[in-house]
């Protein structure tokens, strides 16, 4: 795979690699992509949680009180 990035990002990657002791520029890019993927997953879980909360409000209003539990 080959990608093109701006010179500013090349400088950032080199600087990050040197300051954090990364083995290679590829490792820096891989770490960045894993963080991006993690962020997307967190957002997806948040959205799914909102859907569950909406459904829960419907179920919670079915007439059962807390004392039932």
Q: What CA–CA distance (Å, rounded) separates 51 from 16?
A: 39
Predicted confidence at residue 8, as pLDDT, reads: 98
Give yes or no for a contact between 31 and 13, defined as CB atoms under 8 angstroms apart: no
Which pLDDT belongs to residue 3?
A: 92
How far apart are alpha carbons 25 and 16 in whole angstroms?
Answer: 9
- How confident is the model at residue 47, as a pLDDT? 84
The tokens describing 23, both together, are: 């083995």
Query: Which positions ≥6 away from 13 have C-beta within 8 Å?
Result: 5, 25, 28, 29
What is the per-residue pLDDT for 5?
95
User: What tens digit of pLDDT does each residue of 41-57 get?
Assistant: 998 888 887 777 666 66
Question: What pLDDT digit, counting tens, does each position of 4-40 carry?
Answer: 999 999 999 999 999 999 999 999 999 999 999 999 9
């Amino acid at each position: 795979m080959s990608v093109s990035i701006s010179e500013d990002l090349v400088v950032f990657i080199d600087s990050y690699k040197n300051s954090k002791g990364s083995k290679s520029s590829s490792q820096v890019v891989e770490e960045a992509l894993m963080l991006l993927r993690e962020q997307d997953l967190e957002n997806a879980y948040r959205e799914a949680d909102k859907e569950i909360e909406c459904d829960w409000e419907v179920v919670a209003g079915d007439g059962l009180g807390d004392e039932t539990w």
